[in-house]
Structure 1
Amino acid sequence: MPSYQAVLFDFFGTLTCSVQRGTAHQATAELLGCPSAALTEVLDRTYYQRASGRLGNAEATLRWVCDQVGVHPSDRAVRAAVASRHRAVRADTRVRAEAVPVLAALRQRGVRTGLISDCTHELPAFLPQLAVAPLLDVCVFSVQLGCCKPDPALYRAACRQLDLAPAECLYVGDGGSQELTGAVRAGMTAARLAAPDLVDHLAFNVDRSWHGPVLTSLAEVLDLLTPVPCTVPA
């Protein structure tokens, strides 16, 4: 069993519990003046376009979404809807109970930690408020880098920030966005988190044919590691 120097995690559905859109999203639709179902359909259909960050900032992106829905709210309404959407996505986000203990245990073992997430503008804004934030050495967000998983640029960016080779890193995710096969193609070892709550998880472009390691709990990540040798001064 290899001695990994770092473990890189997906965020939604991995460091967090299963994600579904909650009732708070209704307020965003109301501010934009469109049916909630119409907004949800466009959000689902355009996820990767929005998560790539290529549509501009949060306001420009939501304005583009409105064009797809066929509504034309005022600038004031769009600004209010951006804040509403931020609150709604934050409300959907519940960090797994074992996330902080696992990240802390990895760091105690001398293993570095990181995050690679497909996301829209909300996550980079509220991640610093979460308990996992101080336990992550690097964070790579698709909306900031300009591409989504399984693009190797995301994995390489994390390795570059850690000054590690891909082979020295373990990647853990629920399998959305073909992230596991993407990690393997980038030169990493990957493991799929298949926790029971993920049956109803909102995910796109899932790795359906994954045949690699499968974990039923985030805590099982620790079982994939061997102790990192300590260097004893001569």
Structure 2
Amino acid sequence: MKPRACVVVYPGSNCDRDAYHALEINGFEPSYVGLDDKLDDYELIILPGGFSYGDYLRPGAVAAREKIAFEIAKAAERGKLIMGICNGFQILIEMGLLKGALLQNSSGKFICKWVDLIVENNDTPFTNAFEKGEKIRIPIAHGFGRYVKIDDVNVVLRYVKDVNGSDERIAGVLNESGNVFGLMPHPERAVEELIGGEDGKKVFQSILNYLKR
């Protein structure tokens, strides 16, 4: 039986279909969920990229106060796997499920390009299919992706070169319990050679490995 996964769709999400497709071709049974839905039936919850609520106030700030945020927090407490990609990462930080802050890129510009990353930690549900120290290539697309480290944090991914001014070139972090992962790069956009590369597939394969262990 395929693990059930869901993609939370907010007003302004624009990577929900990409995430759904990545799940579908990598062995999951995906569903979309709305702001009033329950999350009890899912083993993996993805908060996708986009511009939820137009990034008003701060990116992710309004979405973090929606009704679905209570369901996400409850799922995190129960140990369900949660992955926030780009705007989803911003939402998780606004909810307090991940440490740190995501501010405007040091250049003041929106950055959209493929970047090189280093897998800093492969002992996670999200990166176990990689080798520690493995270099991978995944695209980014954000204006507010500069990670500010506020406390000790479990770094999972780093940029090889500074792309947005993030402290210590941090690109992705994990919560202390190891079940909530936030990253600015878009693994769902790197699952087929046809669209530029498939290093992102290993993120979904890692989750599958973990759920089927």
TM-score in terms of structure 1 length: 0.32
Higher strand content, 1 or 2:
2
TM-score in terms of structure 2 length: 0.34
User: Which entry has the higher C-alpha Rg, 1 or 2?
Assistant: 1
Q: Bigger relative contact order, structure 1 or 2, given CA contacts below 8 A and separation 6+?
A: 1
Higher helix content, 1 or 2:
1
